[in-house]
Amino acid sequence: MRNKPSFSFFKNLLYALDGLRICFKEEISFKIELFVAIFLSIVIWLASLHPLSKIILQSSLLLPLIAELFNSAIEHLTDLCTKKYHPLAKSAKDMGAAAVLLTLLLTLGIWIAVGLYEYK
């Protein structure tokens, strides 16, 4: 059996908040995406939209933030493994960046679809 500490909701919550703090502190991309998400959240809730549209738009703003957290984790682990240039390290970082790009495009698509639905 593994030597695993017992589950603690509050410790796990603190670990998660620590991860958000580290990402906010160290990653410019995360800061930009977070500030854009906050601004767009205000716009969403001030707009006269159907409540379900508001929930969909609000939820879509979390996708790039989640992808950016995973991308940052991949970058940190890659940097831990090697400081030298390696094609596999570059590939891992590029794939993480591609995931962020795809979630940004997905979010844009969701906003366009909701916009078309709301203003038909």
Identified catalytic residue from 26, 27, 33, 68 = 68
49: left (phi > 0), else alpha (psi -120 to 50), else beta?
Answer: beta
Catalytic status, residue 68: yes
CA-CA-CA-CA torsion sign (48, 59, 43, 16):
positive
Provide φ and ψ at 79, rounded to 5°.
-65, -30
Provide φ and ψ at 51, rounded to 5°.
-55, -35
Catalytic center residues: 68
